[in-house]
Amino acid sequence: MMHDNLDPHVSGHVEPAKGERAEIRDESVTDREVPVAGASMPAIIHAWLDGEPVNEPALQAAGSYPLWRRVQAETVDRRRMQAPATIRGAIMEAIRKEG
Amino acid sequence: MGLSTARVRGYTSVVKSTPSSPQESEVDADQAIIDRVFAGDRDAFGLLISRYSDVLYRHAVGMTGSPDDAADILQNSFIKAYQHLGEVRGRFDAWVFRIVANGCKDWLKNIRRTHLSYEEDDQPSGYQTPDEELDRGELRGDLDRALAALPVSLREAFVMKHVEGRSYEDMAELLDTTVGALKMRVHRAREALQKLLEEKAA
C-alpha cells in the first residue's frame, strides 16, 4: 500500500515563514482564478441575464434556465433592500459631534 | 470641522463630456447640495445620504453578506465622504461608491468568516406561496455561500449587475474599466456560481 509522504521537504510543500501567512490568507479573498470547468452556461442564458432580447422557447429549453430564473427572482428581490432607517440620523449625529 | 474647503470647479464640464453618466439633472442636483454644504448648511449633506444610502447599502450587503457590517461600512464611508467633500472630482455618486467599495474590500481582507448569513433581512418578498418561500430561503442561503466563495472582483461585478441592477456602462465608469472586461467578470461569476449551486444541489 502506498502512503503519502508527509515530510514537507520531500513532498515539495514548504511551510511558509511566519510573515507570509497573512499574505496567503489575503489571497483567499482577493482576485484569483476560479475553475469553472464543467459549469458551462448556454449563451442564451447570459444574453437573457444581460437583458438582451432572446427567443423565449429556446431560453426555456436551456438546461440551466430553471436555476437562473430562481436566482434572477432572488437578486431582483434584493434590489428592494433598503438601508436601515436610523442610518442617516446616526451619520448626521457623528458629523455634528465632529464640530 | 474636518470638512476641507478646497474646491475645484469644472465639475459640470467633466460630467457633460461623459455620455454614460447618470442624468445631468441628478449630477447638478448633487453639486447644488455640495455647494449648500460648503456655504454652511451642514444638514444638506443628509440629502446626499438619503439619495444614495439604499443602493450603497445593497452593495455593502452583497459584498459582506452581513447587514450589520454593511451598515457600519456605510456609516463610516459617509462620514469619510463628508470629511473629504472638497476632494470630489466628477460624479459624487461615483466618488462615494468608491469609498464604500474600498470599505467593503478592507472588511473582506480582515474577516475570517467563511459562512455568511442573510438571516437579518426581513424585506418583503415577491414570492407568493409557502413552498416558494421555503424554496427561496434555501436558495438565499446557498446563493450567499456561493457568492462568499467567489473572488472579490467577480463578486463585486455580480452584485453590481444583478443586485444593484446597474448597466455595464455605469459599472465601467464606477470601476474605471471597460464594458468588455466587466462582461467577462460577470459571465465568469455566473459560471462559478452555477457550478457551486449545482454542486450543492447534487
Query: In chain B, which residue's Cα lies nearest the Cα of A97?
Result: B1
Does B123 sit within 8 Å of A83, measured CB to CB?
no
Chain B residues whose CB is inside 8 A of the A33 CB are 151
Question: CA B37, CA B23: separation in Å to the nearest integer?
Answer: 22
What does the alpha-carbon distance between residue B11 and residue B32 come to, in Å, rounded to a whole number? 11
Q: Give B55-103 pLDDT, tens digit per residue.
A: 999 999 999 999 999 999 999 999 999 999 999 988 999 999 999 999 9
Q: Using CA atoms, how far apart are residues B192 and B184, in angstroms rounded to an integer?
A: 12
Cross-chain Cβ contact A67/B194 below 8 Å: yes
pLDDT at A45 over 90: yes
> Please, which pLDDT band fits residue B131 given cuts at 50, 70 and 90?
low
- Residue A43 near chain B (CB below 8 Å): no
pLDDT at B122: 43
Tell me how far apart the terminal alpha carbons of chain A are, to the nearest angstrom.
74
B152 and A30 in contact by Cβ < 8 A? Answer: yes
The alpha-helical segments, DSSP class H, found in chain B are 11-16, 24-38, 45-64, 67-83, 92-110, 130-148, 152-158, 168-175, 179-201
- Residue B92 near residue B78, CB atoms below 8 Å: no
SS (H, E, C) chain A: CCCCCCCHHHHCCCCCCCCHHHHHHHHCCCCCCCCCCCCCCCHHHHHHHCCCCCCHHHHHHCCCHHHHHHHHHHHHHHCCCCCCCCHHHHHHHHHHHHC
Q: Are B193 and A71 in contact (CB under 8 A)?
A: yes
Q: Does residue B146 belong to the interface with chain A, where contact is any CB pair within 8 Å?
A: no
Beta carbon pairs, A and B, within 8 Å: 137
> Contacts of residue B111 in chain A, CB cutoff 8 Å?
29
CA A60 and chain centroid, separation: 25
Query: What tens digit of pLDDT does each residue of B94-112 get?
Result: 999 999 999 999 999 887 5
Q: Report yes or no: B4 at the A interface, CB cutoff 8 Å.
A: no
- Residues of chain A contacting residue B190, judged by C-beta atoms under 8 Å apart: 41, 45-46, 49, 68
Residue A37 has pLDDT above 70, yes or no: no
**ipTM exceeding 0.85?**
no
In a mutational test of the A interface, the residue from B50, B79, B84 whose CB has the highest number of chain A CBs within 10 Å is B79
Spans of all domains in chain A: 43-99
Q: Is the confidence at residue A75, as pLDDT, over 90?
A: yes
For B21: left if phi > 0, alpha if psi spans -120 to 50, otherwise beta; the answer is beta
pLDDT score, position B115: 42
Is B180 within 8 Å of chain A by CB?
no
Block residue for cell numbers 463628508: B82
Chain A residue numbers touching B2 (CB-CB < 8 A): 98
Chain B residues whose beta carbon lies within 8 Å of the beta carbon of residue A72: 162
